[in-house]
């Protein structure tokens, strides 16, 4: 499994500043805020209320960002009929060629 992800919602303030004045900057900040709120309002209480399920391990926001990035990078809408996304964990085999070059299906 990857140990890091690069997605705008995980960028630092300095990295986000490169987008100054663009719609992308607003979207990046909104996504980062939404991820932080989800962590604080949903994930943290879930772990706190179910410590035995989580083996007493403390989960950090950085770990949550990694998990969210891994899931979102591997979830795809399969058809227009359903609002659900499907997990395709092996999709990387089809879109990444030699030396990390992107290939198209």
Q: Kindly report, residue by residue over 33-83, the tens digit of the pLDDT.
A: 999 999 999 999 988 888 888 886 768 998 888 888 888 777 666 666 666
Residue 89 has pLDDT above 90, yes or no: no
| Stated pTM of the model | 0.65
Residue 1 lies in a domain: no
Residue 62 belongs to a domain: yes
What are the C-alpha distances in Å from 21 to residues 13, 18, 31, 33? 14, 9, 16, 18
Find the mean pLDDT for residues 10-38. 91
> What is the domain count for the chain?
1
**Angle, vertex CA 99, rays to CA 98 and CA 105, nearest 5:** 45
Mean pLDDT of the chain: 78
Inside any domain, residue 2: no
Comparison of pLDDT for 71 and 89, the residue scoring more: 71
Position 31 in a domain:
yes
Contact between 47 and 57 under an 8 Å Cβ cutoff? The reply is: no
Instruction: Answer with the residue of higher pLDDT: 100 or 88.
Output: 88
Q: Write down the pLDDT at residue 41.
A: 95
Range of the domain at 79: 8-100
Q: Looking at the domain assignment, is residue 3 inside a domain?
A: no
């Amino acid at each position: 499994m990857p140990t890091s992800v690069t997605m705008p919602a995980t960028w630092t303030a300095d990295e986000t500043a490169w987008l100054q004045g663009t719609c992308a900057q607003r979207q990046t900040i909104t996504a980062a805020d939404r991820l932080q709120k989800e962590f604080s309002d949903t994930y943290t209480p879930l772990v706190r209320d179910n410590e035995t399920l989580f083996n007493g391990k403390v989960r950090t926001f950085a770990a949550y960002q990694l998990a969210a990035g891994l899931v979102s990078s591997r979830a795809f809408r399969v058809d227009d009929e359903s609002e659900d996304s499907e997990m395709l964990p092996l999709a990387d085999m089809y879109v990444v060629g030699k030396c990390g070059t992107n290939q198209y299906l």
